[in-house]
Structures are given as structure tokens and as C-alpha cells.
């Protein structure tokens, strides 16, 4: 049998990189993974070493290739974690460790953003989060001025990885590789969403160097070709077209087949994201939820993000030495409401749509409660947090069902709890690794396999049987009302404690 023409997608996450190989019909042929450490050298810091990303990428691509040895790769695309920055010099070499989205060292810097004129704040169209590039750059300028001065560009994580894939030795060939695209740029707090360009007035008001921000190109464009050095390391042909790529959520929308407004995507993983594609860049008037550029260049998307989802469930699972079957099995052992036990899952500071306490708690704990009660209460608390985000997302009320994706959406009992608590039917995607899948599709667009993203509609993953709200919906509504009451009371208690 002859070689199968295929695409390679690379998804650079917070603690692991994934590589997938797709054929031109969208079928998944190979998957690989490589891991690296998230460094916390000081409280509130979150960093990573870019060289570790490259080592993990080599492992992930090799594993994917071993599972699909008959494939001939013709295009490569990237997706990556949002918000953080990799400071590089004129040769593209990092000048310090990468600063990532969970980093909170720039918390005090946010006061400078709050002091901006209201009209400018509204054009940024996003809540203020310290792990975004804008606040991190302000922190660097103040606390690490030497690093700030010798850096030539502030790149998003996936932009640095693309640079590593396409980098040539000659400096003249290097300059045009230090670029980005709008789906990542719009998540920096330095981007004018309605104007679809860098927010020059904001950048000047903050006293930041405009030359640190890379030129913009379309996510679907060819940003370069695979260098001979990178090709040898990955055992791929030199000269492969490499797409500019996209932020992870924007790539996930492509990978899930969400190409037009009208579908509400719930992605479940370490965090949870509720994502709604839209035709116009209309900011949330309250600036509690996010607005970003989509990868297709024609749409934007609104997003409500929940920090404390799979992250919290995995933490509790490890504390109790439970496996995932026991976690989800608690939903069948314990009745809705966990017999009076409620969990507030704010183990890390939550996104601005949430105004409750910024620490977690089990409330109503009694001697008769078992570990199964703790596990069920945790699942219910996470589901309540997702419902709160859903209620805060503009436009979500008009969409009847949710499309659910991600590794955290696989267990049927968990999907049923979500349907009951969210009060919406859930559709499940019959596809894995939708973010890396979206990256691979961007590689196909850059290689000229397709001329525009709308041609990808025929490759959209199938949507399986609907999980509809069941007989426990009324009890879950009571649970959610109790959760809201306790969150508000917990907020008052936290203020008193402080």
C-alpha cells in the first residue's frame, strides 16, 4: 500500500505537548505526547523552560510517527496555551524562562490597567488577568529591566515553538519569523478587539515598548517552512509548510467543527471553557467574560473560563488515593446533593466572572459522610461552577444545547450530572484531541490543501447521542441555589477572616 498523505498538528499545553497525525479526511492516525515541568520557583509564579518544550515535541512527534509510519506529512500546524510570554533576543533565543498563564506575580500591575480610560478598557474587551502578556510585560519592565531591555520580542508559547521549527541560522532570515497571529494577540490585554489590531494607545499609556509585540499574520497563513535542523530532529522532510497556528481554544473550535455561530462548546480538561462563536466583536459590558479572535479570520468568540475543574478533581483524587473509576462511581453511590455536603472548588483564584471566595471549602461535613460523599460533592461543586460561568456568558441563553469535548467529558454519569445541573441537552463529540486536530487542519490550510476554513465543514467530527436533563434536574436546581447562597456567605466570611 502506498503512503497516506497526512497532516501533523502540535498542541503545546501547560505541562505536556501532544502531536496528532490526520489524513485528509480528518481521520486520526497517530497520537504522541511529551511532558515537562511547570516551575513554581516562588509563590504565585508559573514558568517553563522553552528548551523542555522542544525536547517534549520531539518525543511526541516521534511517538505519533511510530503509530502512523505509512504517512507522508505535507503540512504542519500549531496550537498552544494562551496568555503567557517567551522573551527572546534578536536571534530568537529565550532571555529568561517562559512566564505562563497561571502566573500571578503581576497582580499589583492590574491597577495600572484599571486606571486606563474607560473607552480604552472597553476596547481591550477582556477581564484583567495577571497571567496575560500585558501585565507580565509591565512586571518585567519594573523588576527585570535588563532582561526587558535585551529582549527583541515577546512571543506567545506556540509562536516560540513555531520559531524553533522554522528558524534558520542567518539573522536576516530570522527577523520575519518573530511573528504572531490574532487569536493569541487578542488574549494579551494589549489588543484592540473592535479595531482588530495592537492597542497602540494602551501600549503607550502603560509605557511599554511597542517593538516587543510581533507583526500579525493570519492563523491560516504559511509562516515559514520546516528547517533542515528541525526536520532532522523530528525525522520529517525539510521544507514542510508550517502554519502560523492559533491559540488552543481557537484551534479547538476548528477541531470540533464549530465553524459558524450557533453552537456552544464546553471543553472539559484541567479547566473548563464555555465558548460561543460570534460574527461581531461585541465586548461583555461588564468585562467579566472574554472576547477573542477566532482562527478563521472572520469570527470572534466569547468565552467564560473556569479555572477549577479537572484540576480540582485530580487534586482530591490524589489526596484520597482514588482512581477515576471511583471518582465517577460516586455519582451512582451517593444521591444528588451529597446528603447535605457542598463543595466550593475555588482552590486557585477563579476568573473574574466569579465574585465568590477565592479559597475552597467543604461545607456541611458530618461524621456519616464517606469518601464517596467527598468525591460526589466535588463533582457537583465543579458542575455548579460551570453553570455559574454559563449564566454569565453573553448570548449563551439563546443556545439550546451544549457540545461537550475533552477528556473530562467521557464518563456517562458525569455527563448526566452536567446535563441535569446545567439544564441543557449535551452533545458529545466523537473525536479526540480536538485542539491538536485543529492545529493539523491549520497546517492543511497553510499547505494549500484547502483554500479557506469553511471547506473543513465536511471533516467535522460526528456528534453522538444526546444526554438530556433527567429526573434529577429539579434536585440539581435546588443544589445550585444552595451553592450560590453558600458562595455569597463564604465571600462574607472570607472578608471577615482577612
- Residue-by-residue DSSP string for 380-446: HHHHHHHHHHHHHSTTGGG---EEEESGGG--HHHHHHHHHHHTS-EEEBS-S-HHHHHHHHHHHHH
Exposure string over 97-115, b if 16+ CB within 10 A, otherwise e: bbbbbbbebbbebbebbee
Question: What is the spatial distance between Cα 274 and Cα 264, in angstroms, rounded to a whole number?
Answer: 7
Residue with cell 494577540: 185
Q: Which positions ≥6 away from 175 have C-beta within 8 Å?
A: 90
Question: What is the spatial distance between Cα 209 and Cα 213, in angstroms, rounded to a whole number?
Answer: 8
Question: What is the spatial distance between Cα 14 and Cα 248, in angstroms, rounded to a whole number?
Answer: 11
Q: Which helix (H) or strand (E) holds 484?
A: helix 473-497
Q: What does DSSP say about strands 246-247 and 241-243: parallel, antiparallel, or unpaired?
A: unpaired
Query: Among residues 311, 251, 188, 184, which one has the least CA distance to residue 10?
Result: 251
Statement: 4-249 belongs to CATH 3.30.420.40? yes
Angle between helices 371-392 and 412-422 in degrees, nearest 10: 50
Query: Among residues 265, 123, 262, which one has the least CA distance to residue 202?
Result: 123
**Same CATH fold assignment for domains 4-249 and 257-428+468-498:** yes
- Cβ atoms of 87 and 151 within 8 Å: the answer is yes
pLDDT at 169: 59
Residue-range domain boundaries for the chain: 4-249, 257-428+468-498
Question: What is the spatial distance between Cα 374 and Cα 322, in angstroms, rounded to a whole number?
Answer: 11
CA distances from 337 to 20, 348, 421, 474 (A): 40, 23, 11, 11
Here the contacts of 480-486 (C-beta below 8 Å, separation 24 or greater) are 480/384, 480/387, 480/421, 482/342, 483/342, 483/344, 483/380, 483/381, 483/384, 484/384, 484/388, 486/342, 486/344, 486/363
Per the rule left: phi > 0, alpha: psi between -120 and 50, beta: everything else, 15 is alpha
Q: Which positions ≥6 away from 205 have C-beta within 8 Å?
A: 116, 120
DSSP class of residue 198 equals E
As to burial, measured by CB atoms within 10 angstroms (0-12 exposed, 13-18 middle, 19+ buried), residue 279 is exposed
Q: What does DSSP say about strands 4-12 and 71-80: parallel, antiparallel, or unpaired?
A: parallel
DSSP class of residue 180 equals B
For residue 335 the three cell numbers come to 444521591
pTM of the model: 0.91
Quick one: how far is CA 57 from the chain centroid? 18
CA distances from 463 to 258, 408, 466 (A): 11, 16, 8
Of the options 3.50.50.60, 3.40.50.1820, 3.30.420.40, 1.10.3720.10, the CATH number for the domain spanning 257-428+468-498: 3.30.420.40
Tens of pLDDT, residue by residue, the chain (498 residues): 578 999 999 999 988 999 999 999 999 999 999 999 989 889 989 999 999 999 999 999 999 999 999 999 999 999 999 999 999 999 999 999 999 998 999 999 999 999 999 999 999 999 999 999 999 999 999 999 999 999 999 999 999 999 999 986 554 445 557 999 999 999 999 999 999 999 999 999 999 999 999 999 999 999 999 999 999 999 999 999 999 999 999 999 999 999 999 899 998 888 899 999 999 998 898 899 999 999 999 999 999 988 888 889 999 999 999 999 999 999 999 999 999 999 999 887 776 666 666 788 898 999 999 999 999 999 999 999 999 999 999 999 888 889 998 776 678 899 999 999 999 999 988 888 999 999 999 999 999 999 888 888 888 887 887 889 988 999 999 999 999 888 777 555 444 344
Return the sign of the alpha-carbon dihedral for residues 473, 479, 485, 490. negative
Return the sign of the alpha-carbon dihedral for residues 376, 380, 381, 382. positive
* pLDDT tens digits for range 190-201: 999 999 999 999
- Which string of DSSP letters, residue by residue, matches 217-278? --TTSEEEE--HHHHHHHT--TT-EEE--EEHHHHHHHHTT--STT-EEEEESSSEEEEEEE
As to burial, measured by CB atoms within 10 angstroms (0-12 exposed, 13-18 middle, 19+ buried), residue 327 is buried
As to burial, measured by CB atoms within 10 angstroms (0-12 exposed, 13-18 middle, 19+ buried), residue 221 is middle
Q: Which positions ≥6 away from 64 have C-beta within 8 Å?
A: 8, 19, 20, 21, 30, 31, 32
Amino acid at each position: 500500500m502506498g503512503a497516506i498523505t497526512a497532516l501533523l498538528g502540535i498542541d503545546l499545553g501547560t505541562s505536556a505537548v501532544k502531536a496528532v497525525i490526520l489524513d485528509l479526511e480528518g481521520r486520526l492516525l497517530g497520537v504522541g505526547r511529551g511532558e515537562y515541568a511547570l516551575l513554581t520557583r516562588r509563590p504565585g509564579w508559573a514558568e517553563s523552560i522553552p528548551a523542555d518544550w522542544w525536547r517534549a515535541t520531539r518525543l511526541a512527534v516521534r511517538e505519533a510517527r511510530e503509530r502512523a509510519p505509512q504517512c507522508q506529512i505535507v503540512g504542519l500546524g500549531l496550537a498552544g496555551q494562551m496568555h503567557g510570554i517567551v522573551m527572546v533576543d534578536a536571534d530568537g533565543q529565550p532571555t529568561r524562562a517562559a512566564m505562563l498563564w497561571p502566573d500571578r506575580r503581576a497582580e499589583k500591575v492590574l491597577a495600572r490597567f484599571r486606571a486606563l480610560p474607560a473607552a480604552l478598557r472597553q476596547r481591550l474587551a477582556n477581564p484583567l488577568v495577571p497571567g496575560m502578556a500585558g501585565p507580565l510585560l509591565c512586571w518585567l519592565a519594573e523588576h527585570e529591566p535588563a532582561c526587558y531591555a535585551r529582549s527583541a520580542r515577546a512571543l506567545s508559547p506556540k509562536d516560540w515553538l513555531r520559531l524553533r521549527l522554522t528558524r534558520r541560522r542567518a539573522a536576516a532570515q530570522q527577523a520575519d519569523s518573530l511573528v504572531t497571529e490574532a487569536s493569541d494577540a487578542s488574549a494579551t490585554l494589549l489588543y484592540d478587539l473592535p479595531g482588530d489590531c495592537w492597542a497602540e494607545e494602551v501600549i503607550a499609556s502603560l509605557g511599554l515598548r511597542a517593538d516587543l509585540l510581533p507583526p500579525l499574520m493570519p492563523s491560516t497563513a504559511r509562516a515559514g517552512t520546516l528547517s533542515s535542523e528541525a526536520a532532522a530532529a523530528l525525522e520529517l522532510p525539510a521544507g514542510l509548510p508550517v502554519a502560523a497556528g492559533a491559540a488552543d481554544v481557537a484551534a479547538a473550535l476548528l477541531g470540533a467543527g464549530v465553524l459558524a455561530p450557533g453552537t456552544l462548546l464546553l471543553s472539559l480538561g484541567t479547566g473548563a471553557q464555555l465558548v460561543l462563536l460570534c460574527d461581531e466583536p461585541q465586548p461583555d459590558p461588564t468585562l467579566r467574560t472574554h472576547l477573542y479572535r477566532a482562527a478563521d479570520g472572520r469570527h470572534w468568540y466569547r468565552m467564560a473560563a473556569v479555572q477549577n475543574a479537572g484540576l480540582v478533581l485530580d487534586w482530591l483524587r490524589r489526596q484520597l488515593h482514588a482512581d477515576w473509576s471511583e471518582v465517577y462511581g460516586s455519582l451512582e453511590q451517593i444521591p444528588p446533593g451529597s446528603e447535605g455536603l457542598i463543595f466550593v472548588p475555588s482552590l486557585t483564584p477563579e476568573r473574574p466572572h466569579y465574585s465568590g471566595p477565592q479559597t475552597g471549602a467543604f461545607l456541611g461535613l458530618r461524621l456519616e459522610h464517606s469518601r464517596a460523599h467527598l468525591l460526589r460533592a466535588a463533582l457537583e461543586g465543579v458542575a455548579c461552577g460551570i453553570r455559574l460561568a454559563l449564566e454569565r456568558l453573553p448570548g449563551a441563553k439563546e443556545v439550546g444545547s451544549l457540545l461537550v469535548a475533552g477528556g473530562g467529558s467521557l464518563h456517562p454519569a458525569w455527563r448526566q450530572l452536567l446535563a441535569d445541573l446545567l439544564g441543557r441537552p449535551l452533545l458529545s463529540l466523537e473525536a479526540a484531541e480536538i485542539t491538536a486536530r485543529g492545529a493539523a487542519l491549520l497546517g492543511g490550510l497553510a499547505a494549500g490543501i484547502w483554500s479557506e476554513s469553511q471547506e473543513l465543514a465536511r471533516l467535522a467530527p460526528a456528534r453522538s447521542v444526546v444526554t438530556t436533563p433527567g429526573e434529577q434536574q429539579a434536585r440539581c436546581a435546588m443544589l445550585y441555589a444552595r451553592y450560590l447562597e453558600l458562595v455569597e456567605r463564604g465571600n462574607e466570611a472570607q472578608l471577615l477572616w482577612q
